[in-house]
Amino acid sequence: MYRPRITGRGNVPAQGPVLLASNHLASLDTVIIPTSATRPVQFLIKSSYFTGSGVLGRFMRWFFTSIGGVPVYRATGRDARAALDAGSSILRAGSVFAVFPEGTRSRDGKLHEGHGGAAWMARETGAAVVPVGLIGTGAVKPFRHLLPGRPRIEVHFGEPLDLSDLEGVPDGKARREITERMMSAIARLTGQERSGSVNASSRD
């Protein structure tokens, strides 16, 4: 419906664990990434999509489960660690897991600083880290795809990050460096301005 331009699919390794690290502009991103990738993708998604009642609630649970959603609770401590453990388990099984290092979607269109959870999973599992750049998903409006002149979105899969030089580096320093490399690679793919701060503008 949105006629996405997709580049770099061949950068996603055909086998083994892969961590897709993407910018986050809209709720649509959680649908666009798995439908654009060459392999099945799982990802964390806010738990409220799985807890609704009635027909709509059941549909939401079915839909997000069917496209690989893993519920995450917006909390610190055990719930946050459980989410990281869930992602790590998927990677250790040799599958593809997608994350938004910014944590929440960007309301201002800038690329915000990444949190350390993605780097922790990469470090713990040895998964290949592939940056993903999404362009235009934040401008998509409901039913706009039915109108003439509708905008197109872009999905760019970058080359896997080379992290070989971080072997033997202390964990804290290595995670910070991996996070920075993720965000720098995403910025190159999207052309987004980097805000230099953590994203606190959205609860989604």
Taking only the tens of pLDDT, the chain with its 204 residues reads: 777 899 999 999 999 999 999 999 988 898 899 989 999 999 877 777 788 888 888 888 888 777 777 777 655 555 567 778 888 999 999 999 999 999 888 988 899 999 999 999 999 999 999 999 999 988 776 555 556 666 789 999 999 999 999 999 999 999 999 999 999 999 999 999 999 888 765 444
Tell me the three state secondary structure of residue 198: strand
Which residues pair with residue 21 across a beta bridge? 99, 131
Q: Which residue, among 27, 22, 28, has the nearest Cα to 96 in the 3D structure?
A: 22
For the beta carbon of residue 26, count every other beta carbon within 10 angstroms.
Answer: 18
Which residues pair with residue 142 across a beta bridge? none
| Cα–Cα dist 196/111, whole Å | 8
| Cα–Cα dist 195/113, whole Å | 7
> Quick one: residue 24, left, alpha or beta (phi over 0 = left, psi -120 to 50 = alpha)?
beta
Strands, DSSP E only, in the chain? Answer: 5-7, 18-22, 41-46, 69-72, 96-99, 111-113, 128-135, 154-157, 194-198
Which of the 8 DSSP states describes residue 160? Answer: P
Strand 5-7 relative to strand 154-157, pairing? parallel
pTM of the predicted model as reported, rounded to 2 decimal places:
0.85
| Cα–Cα dist 117/104, whole Å | 13
Which two structure tokens, joined as six digits, stand for 4?
Answer: 């996405």
